[in-house]
Chain A
Amino acid sequence: MFVEYTWLIPLVPMLCFVIVGFFGKKMPEGGGHVAIFGALFAFAVSVLVAYEFFTSAAYSAPGYVTAQIAWFSIGDFGINVGYYIDSLSCLMMLFASFISTLIFVYSIGYMHGEGVKKRRYYAEVSLFLTGMLGLAVSSNFLEMFVFWEVMGLCSYLLIGFWSFTHPSGDDAADNAASAAKKAFLVTRLGDVCLMGGLFILLYAFGSLDYLTVFDTAAMAAVDPNMVLLASLLIFGGVIGKSAQFPLLDWLPDAMAGPTTVSALIHAATMVKAGVYLVARCFPLFTQNPELMLFVGIIGGITAFFAATMALNNMNIKKVLAYSTLSQLGYMFLALGAGGYMMALGIQSGDTHLIAAGAVGYTAGCLHMANHAFFKALLFLGSGSVIHSAGTEDMREMGGLHKKMKITSVTMLIGSLSIAGFPLFSGFWSKELVLETAMHAGSYGVEGYLFTAMWVLAVVTAFMTAFYMFRMWFMTFKGKPGHGTEHCHGESPKSMTVPLIILSVFAAAVGCMILFGFDEYITTGINAAGQFQVGSGHGHGMTGWLEDIFMSAYTYLTVALVLIAIGIAYLMYSRKSVDPGKINRNGNSLIYRALSNRWWFPQLYNQIGWKLGYGVAKGVEFVDRQVIDGTVNALSSAVVGSGESLSKTQTGNVRDYAAVVMAGIVALFILTVVLFYLMGGA
């Protein structure tokens, strides 16, 4: 009834993009209301579709509903376009459209002073929403890839929103232009890998439809090495898009865009596309435990590295950016650990292991949804702070709590949630992630690596709590800074209302796990041997409470989180501990490594510069000097030294025509001779 209209979900924002793009100039707020309408409409349709999907008995047995029409064909292989709805797509489209709606509303206040640029802003965010929602409902890899790249384009455009005529000067404009380029190119590196994976899949399966590729029988018929290679390449795309190690460097730079863009694209939605893709490709990825191990390790390393870089950063948005990276790492760790167990279970036929793996899947997806809410909240909160304090540097803030109560409290809720303070959203999913990693450590030959990742993840949890509260205390407590004096009070209603709504969700969404979330967002193998999303059995409220509160490790993490918050309080609110003593006033090696981002940017610049511009210079030299040099030398040798150019400049083409005619005759004779020699006649 509603599911048939799924195509409206990406289409309406697309229409809004066209309308705002062409006519936004004459509309109030540059067409912002149209964009809000589009997002709201998409949300409403998503709710109806999800409601029908979850309630109708017709869909619960297969666990999905799909419909597609032929688009065109590449050789013998047909490419379709259509929708594919299962509980994972429902989760994705629900939180993406809901958060987008709130962020668009917030933008009305935040972007109010941007003048004519508002039209471009609302057009681009509408196009972005098309990409995000289209990705969620796509029925095949190629369609997904189109939307994937549309998001990449919008990310590029929006990071570079102020890449010319920047309100705070030319340097900022240069910086934004460079950040936008970097974001696009680094993700492009991943996308190119992803494309390679698609070629392999299309060739091996003869189709890119999810249904065909994820069919266990079809998968068994394909060379496992090709499946592994394809999965690796797809994961390469994921690394680029979700900014995982080693391609994590673009995301902090991407903070050059407006804060709403950072909240929407670089925290809540687009960077989740990678998580979504790994979850979507679970049937493919779990063919190989080593691959899943790789996913988990990448996730664990990213979680740790990114968290370290957030420890001493002074820019409020950058801290949040690193924490986004770190949290994304958690999601991949969960998916990797779950997938690892599931892959082992599939190989050995152990249903217990498969079920244990499904918990990792649930943990990854739950953390994805939770993170979308609390990170959107935190970014919007930081936007509210930046909006009124006029700076992004936390040293110039401080004491803002008195002036901005709503922002302060909502951000505190977000910080508690992301830090994993007991009973807040983040607590549930983070504990689940850690539990899965721990659990995976006891299986398989390489399982101990997951134990190592668990250690990293626990240390990360400690660091997360520390840097989040460092941020909160530095911003809202302590002595008023330079920016605080400029602050003209709380932000307008259009900004605070979304904050309040988000803070409710940020605090409570994670509790879904207690009410059967895991029954819907899970994966497993049904009786027919097919992968199915949402086929597992709910663990239920008491089950989770038992699991989590009976485990000693939970108390360890909670204790670490509380200690970290305490340290942050002592250092940045009471100031009884001087952080300068620990890092030798910013001169210790570790401190410098962190503030230089472990020298990653320099490394990438060097590589990019040498492999790109360096080689290009060589090619240019060969082209101009060697190839063209030979040509020019030949022509002067033929026509007479130095006169070739002056002669041609008289435009005396007739001489050439004569030469050419003579040439034709000579060649004709030559041909005939050749022809007879070769015995054609």
Chain B
Amino acid sequence: MFFEFPFEIPYLLTLLLVVPLTGAVVTLAMGGKRQKYAKYSAGVFSGITMLLSLVLLFTPDLSVYNESYPWIDTAGLRMSYILTVDGLSILMVFLTGLLVFLSTVFSAREKDRPNCFFALMLAMEVGLMGVYTSADYFLFYIMWEVTLIPMYFMISWFGGPRRHYAAIKFFIYTHVASLVMLIGIFALVFGAAGGGIADFSFEAVLAGSVAFGSTFQMLVFGLLFFGFAVKMPIVPFHTWLPDAHVEAPTAGSVLLAGVMLKMGSYGIIRVCLEVLPEGAQYWQPIMIFIGVLAMIYGAYACIAQKDLKKMVAFSSISHMGMVMISMACLSSTGIEFAIFQMFAHGLISAVLFMVCGMAGHSIGTREIPLLGGIAGKMPVFAAFMMFGFMASLGLPGLVGFWAEFGIIFSFYDYSVSADMIWLIAFCLISLLLTAGYYLWAMQRTLFGRLTDRIDLSHIHDVSRPEAIALGAICALIALYGLWPDLALGFVDGYASSLAASLGVI
């Protein structure tokens, strides 16, 4: 790395949890007359969190920040408070810090109970940071559940007309999945303990995993995989996602697509692949099938959507399908680019959802058939939208292209070794479909004759806070696109050691 952060900040990982937590409490207190300060409080706390996560990026040896304290330590059960960060989680931590801060900036003009709104976002950040840094299954599970609750309220308090339906659907779906996941976790922990002390730490489970039999690996992989994959989401357990996105406020959607979906794929890599290599081998064809299905199905569903935001939601399904096939290659390249795609998609989907949010509140509708010729009225909005769409369809020189290129290459590698070279055609078709729905959407919203189906008198272009947030993410998309090693450098070592442990390099 060309620059190294000179100091070691004590308790950095704990601070990543404590700062947003404090921020949430403080911001919540900014009710009533103090409402106008809520955004500043949220901005400061999320800004500090982002800077802390940025420090991690410039730390050469991440292991100095490991923290470990016993929590529940009884004769039969040991749960600890362990936080670590490694090649898999560092990009996700950075992404969380970045997106929470930028969506706070983006929503600076929120007028409806801003203290609650920003407090929920910070609370969500606690959970997200917790999921990505915890190295103890119990803590991991708690943090996993912590992310759900603020998101639930975010949708049901600040959402659109069908917000209650969407919120409850989101909650039940992901909750049922996480219960299945919990069974898997119990199975793992007790299986690894082998009758001894049930230690919930990642390390202990990993050490005990050598004793897992094939059937056990197969079954438990199935449970955990289901739990994580619903979050990603996978077809056919995906219908919560479009509903949740359509109803969620913009900042909620940004976090939901940008970081929360990645919890699923993060979990699959962290738990399923790390601990259950044999199970992974067994489930590989099914994962590939699910991934390919999600890619094609999601892309086709996008073409038929009339709501811009719903289209983007389905495109998330399609792009997360890419993450799935990439992980399922079980190769070093595949895992590396799965993580890279998680990061890339996090940045790009943030732009996409912000743009959709703006369409909703500055034009007044997101319905594609009602729009048209908007580029003439809102040039800056159009530029951002085009940038986001182009990045998402994999324009070379932007971050999404390298992710897709690496993924399809590793998938090609897999399909050659599996003697099914034609599988690659599905990926290429999905690329084509992706270009199709984005360009068609742009043609119908931005270009062509100016719409006369809606009232355009109150239309206004991008406001300053929105432009700052979008501009920052777009700059990062271009930066990582020109210099993908900035992100790949973190992941490389982790991916190759994981692939080595999977027995496939």
Q: Which residues of A contact B (CB under 8 A)?
A: 71-76, 142, 145-146, 148-150, 153, 156, 160, 163-165, 170-171, 173-174, 176-178, 180-181, 184-185, 188-189, 192-193, 195-196, 199-200, 202-203, 612-613, 615-617, 619-620, 623, 627-628, 631, 635, 645, 648-649, 651, 653, 656, 660, 663-664, 667-668, 670-672, 674-675, 678, 680-681
Contact B447 A160 (CB under 8 A): yes
Shortest beta-carbon distance, A46 to chain B, in Å? 22
Asked if B206 is at the interface of the complex by the 8 Å CB criterion, the answer is no
Contact A149 B485 (CB under 8 A): no
Shortest beta-carbon distance, A132 to chain B, in Å? 15
Chain A residue with the shortest CB-CB distance to B408: A199
Contact B448 A163 (CB under 8 A): yes
Contact A672 B408 (CB under 8 A): no
Shortest beta-carbon distance, A536 to chain B, in Å? 34
Contact A165 B376 (CB under 8 A): yes
Can you list 5 A-B pairs with a CB-CB distance of less than 8 A?
A72-B484, A142-B405, A653-B168, A675-B190, A680-B216
Besides the known contacts A192-B431, A203-B413, A671-B186, 9 further A-B residue pairs in the complex with CB atoms under 8 A apart: A76-B333, A149-B395, A165-B376, A188-B431, A196-B424, A203-B409, A623-B239, A674-B187, A675-B190
The residues of A that contact B450 with a CB separation of less than 8 Å are 164-165, 170
Asked if B396 is at the interface of the complex by the 8 Å CB criterion, the answer is yes
The residues of B that contact A660 with a CB separation of less than 8 Å are 175, 179
A156 to B305, CA, bound (A): 23
Shortest beta-carbon distance, B126 to chain A, in Å? 20
Partner of B304, one of A71, A171, A617, A671: A617
Contacts A146-B397, A667-B183, A670-B183 given; indicate if A628 touches B239 (C-beta within 8 A). Answer: yes
Contacts A164-B450, A188-B435, A667-B183 given; indicate if A648 touches B396 (C-beta within 8 A). Answer: no
Contacts A188-B432, A627-B236, A680-B191 given; indicate if A74 touches B304 (C-beta within 8 A). Answer: no
The CB with the most chain A CB atoms within 10 A, among B172, B396, B410, B416, is that of: B396
The residues of B that contact A149 with a CB separation of less than 8 Å are 395-397, 401
Contact A192 B432 (CB under 8 A): yes
Contacts A146-B397, A616-B303 given; indicate if A75 touches B436 (C-beta within 8 A). Answer: no
The residues of B that contact A635 with a CB separation of less than 8 Å are 172
Size of the B side of the interface (Cβ < 8 Å), in residues, is: 79
* Majority SS at the chain B contact face: helix
The residues of B that contact A203 with a CB separation of less than 8 Å are 409, 412-413, 416
Contact B239 A164 (CB under 8 A): no
Contacts A174-B449, A616-B300, A664-B179 given; indicate if A75 touches B439 (C-beta within 8 A). Answer: no
Chain A residue with the shortest CB-CB distance to B430: A192
Contacts A72-B488, A75-B331 given; indicate if A613 touches B303 (C-beta within 8 A). Answer: yes
Shortest beta-carbon distance, A126 to chain B, in Å? 15
The A-contacting residues of B in range 366-387, CB under 8 angstroms, are 373-376
Contact A185 B428 (CB under 8 A): no
Contact B301 A672 (CB under 8 A): no
Contact B410 A668 (CB under 8 A): no
The residues of A that contact B448 with a CB separation of less than 8 Å are 163-164, 170, 173-174, 177-178
Shortest beta-carbon distance, A668 to chain B, in Å? 6
Asked if B297 is at the interface of the complex by the 8 Å CB criterion, the answer is yes
Contact A153 B485 (CB under 8 A): no
Q: Which residues of B contact A (CB under 8 A)?
A: 152, 156, 164-165, 168-169, 171-172, 175, 179-180, 182-183, 186-187, 190-191, 194-195, 213, 215-216, 219, 235-236, 239, 297, 300-305, 331-333, 336-337, 373-376, 390, 395-397, 401-402, 405-406, 408-410, 412-413, 416, 424-425, 428-429, 431-433, 435-436, 439-440, 442-443, 446-450, 483-485, 488, 492
Contact B195 A651 (CB under 8 A): no
Partner of A164, one of B183, B219, B447: B447
Contact A185 B439 (CB under 8 A): yes
Shortest beta-carbon distance, A460 to chain B, in Å? 32
A390 to B484, CA, bound (A): 48
Shortest beta-carbon distance, A39 to chain B, in Å? 20
Partner of B485, one of A72, A195, A675: A72
Partner of B447, one of A163, A620, A678: A163
A73 to B424, CA, bound (A): 21
The residues of B that contact A668 with a CB separation of less than 8 Å are 182-183, 186
Contact A150 B186 (CB under 8 A): no
The residues of B that contact A178 with a CB separation of less than 8 Å are 443, 448
The residues of A that contact B449 with a CB separation of less than 8 Å are 170-171, 173-174
Contact B183 A631 (CB under 8 A): no
Partner of A619, one of B165, B297, B425: B297
Contacts A153-B395, A196-B428, A680-B191 given; indicate if A75 touches B336 (C-beta within 8 A). Answer: yes
Contact B182 A675 (CB under 8 A): no
Contact A616 B301 (CB under 8 A): yes
Contact A75 B304 (CB under 8 A): no
Shortest beta-carbon distance, B234 to chain A, in Å? 12
A639 to B305, CA, bound (A): 30
Contacts A149-B395, A613-B303, A648-B168 given; indicate if A671 touches B183 (C-beta within 8 A). Answer: yes
A112 to B485, CA, bound (A): 43
Shortest beta-carbon distance, A196 to chain B, in Å? 6
A153 to B219, CA, bound (A): 48
Partner of A680, one of B164, B190, B406, B443: B190
Shortest beta-carbon distance, A124 to chain B, in Å? 12
Shortest beta-carbon distance, B162 to chain A, in Å? 9
The residues of A that contact B215 with a CB separation of less than 8 Å are 678
A672 to B484, CA, bound (A): 46
Contact A619 B301 (CB under 8 A): yes
A82 to B76, CA, bound (A): 61
A649 to B331, CA, bound (A): 46
